[in-house]
């Protein structure tokens, strides 16, 4: 529940966005108003554009886990965050169609952001297998003196700031805003998130490389870039998903390039082949497979992601298991 008070004009805008996608309420960055710095370029947070088509977020089936034995005795939080006993339950996840637009308020979170993060994950995993080392989550903050530069030039400067600190390849995501927690607004705070590699970086017992900290302080005296290595995150996908769903988009472009690769991971240097980014759908309760099924029962579910009663996944009594029939590819159904 939002306990913040906005002016009437923005509250109307927010009400419209919530009606399109209630998931934005889960993170302040996704719903706070943002400031315009009146610069040479105009940026907006991802997901603040218009809906791409009537098909966006439409449901075309369900993924179902019928592993009742694996669910018995499991008590964990459901989609709404409420502790739930999944004993004698099957788990159903609605399968939506998502567009590829970074600005679409319906699809950017569970469509575009997921696809971009999966693509980056596959590429980073290939780099790890080729001996690049541990991927590092790095934030490079733009010096205030450089705020007047075009973003394409800032991106070049960011790559150079990373290079001189030993980062030899990776990807960059531009963030134009930071949360001002005192005023509850997204203020201009230009920085880049990177998932990158550095063969000389070694975390100590305290999780920090003291030699790197000394190096970056020395480089700061020359280029004024603050380049911090963040704590190790649980998964590559989780890191990238966070980076892209908070990304910024330049207005006036038909398609804004959000992620770019540099150094030894640049496209002309890193031949990764065809990357399969189709995600496996796993059960949130037992981590088992969830094949696509059609619903032959009388049960009907809320499909509108803007409805207050919408749930992306939920438990259903096991007595309905036979009513969810697996769709065999090539034999009709929802596809």
Tens digits of residue pLDDT in 159-172: 999 999 999 999 99
Residue 331 has pLDDT above 60, yes or no: no
Q: Are residues 304 and 230 in the same domain?
A: no
DSSP 143-197: PGGGTTS-HHHHHHHHHHHHHTTT--EEEEEEEEEEEETTTTEEEEEEEEEEEEE
- The band of 139, judged by pLDDT with boundaries at 50, 70 and 90, is very high
> What angle is formed at CA 19 by the lines to CA 14 and CA 21, rounded to 5 degrees?
90
Q: Are residues 113 and 233 in the same domain?
A: yes
Q: Are residues 88 and 164 in the same domain?
A: no
Report if pTM > 0.85.
yes
Q: Are residues 149 and 169 in the same domain?
A: yes
Tens digits of residue pLDDT in 210-267: 999 999 999 999 999 999 999 988 899 999 999 999 999 998 777 778 999 999 999 8
Number of domains observed in the structure of the chain: 2
Share of the chain above pLDDT 70, in %: 94
Find out whether 49 and 103 touch, Cβ atoms under 8 Å: yes
Per-residue model confidence (pLDDT) at position 335 = 32
Q: Are residues 80 and 124 in the same domain?
A: no
Q: Are residues 41 and 173 in the same domain?
A: yes
Q: Are residues 254 and 187 in the same domain?
A: yes
Q: Is residue 333 part of a domain?
A: no
Q: Torsions phi, psi of 317, nearest 5?
A: -55, 140
Domain holding 68, by residue range, is: 59-96+297-326
Residue 97 has pLDDT above 90, yes or no: yes
CA–CA distance, 197 with 18 (Å, rounded to integer) = 38
Q: Is residue 14 part of a domain?
A: no
């Amino acid at each position: 529940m939002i306990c913040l008070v906005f002016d009437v004009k923005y509250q109307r805008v927010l009400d419209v966005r919530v009606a399109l996608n209630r998931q934005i309420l889960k993170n302040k960055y996704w719903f706070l108003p943002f400031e315009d710095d009146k610069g040479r370029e105009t940026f907006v947070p991802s997901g603040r554009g218009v809906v791409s088509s009537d098909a966006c977020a439409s449901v075309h089936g369900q993924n179902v886990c019928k592993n009742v034995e694996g669910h018995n005795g499991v008590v964990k939080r459901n989609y709404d965050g409420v502790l739930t006993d999944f004993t004698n339950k099957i788990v159903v996840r609605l399968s939506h169609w998502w567009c590829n637009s970074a600005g679409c308020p319906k699809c950017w979170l569970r469509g575009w952001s997921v696809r971009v993060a999966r693509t980056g994950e596959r590429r980073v995993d290939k780099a790890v297998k080729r001996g690049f080392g541990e991927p590092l989550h790095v934030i490079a903050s733009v010096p205030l003196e450089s705020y007047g530069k075009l973003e394409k030039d800032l991106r070049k400067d960011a790559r150079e700031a990373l290079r001189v600190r030993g980062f030899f390849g990776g990807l960059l995501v531009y963030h134009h805003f930071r949360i001002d927690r005192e005023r509850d607004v997204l203020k201009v705070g230009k920085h880049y998130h990177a998932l990158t590699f550095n063969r000389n970086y070694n975390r100590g017992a305290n999780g920090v490389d003291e030699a790197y900290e000394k190096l970056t302080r020395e480089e700061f005296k020359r280029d004024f870039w603050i380049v911090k290595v963040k704590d190790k995150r649980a998964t590559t996908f989780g890191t990238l998903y966070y980076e892209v769903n908070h990304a910024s988009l330049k207005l006036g472009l038909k398609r804004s390039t959000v992620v770019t690769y540099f150094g030894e991971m640049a496209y002309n240097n890193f031949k990764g082949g065809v990357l399969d980014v189709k995600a496996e759908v796993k059960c949130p309760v037992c981590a088992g497979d969830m094949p696509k099924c059609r619903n032959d029962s009388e049960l009907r579910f809320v499909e509108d992601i803007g409805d207050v009663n919408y749930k992306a996944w939920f438990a259903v009594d096991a007595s309905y298991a036979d009513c969810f029939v697996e769709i065999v590819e090539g034999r009709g159904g929802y596809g």
